[in-house]
Amino acid sequence: MAKEEIKKLLENSKKELDNDHDKFVKSIQDDLQSFKKKTLDQI
């Protein structure tokens, strides 16, 4: 039983980490696009 619980916790943690990673990557990409736009507007 404990083994199954640990397995579920690991799977849930992996899903959460993957989700957080995707959000982080998207955030960085959005910031980069914003920075590029601001830079081009200044030129």
What is the chain's alpha carbon radius of gyration, rounded to the nearest angstrom?
19
pLDDT at 1: 64
User: What pLDDT was estimated at residue 34?
Assistant: 95
Position 6 scores a pLDDT of: 94
Confidence at residue 42, expressed as pLDDT on a 0 to 100 scale? 87
The helix (H) or strand (E) run that includes residue 43 is: none
The predicted model scores a pTM of 0.69
pLDDT digits (tens, 9 = 90+) for 3-32: 999 999 999 999 999 999 999 999 999 999
For tokens 């849930």, name the residue: 12
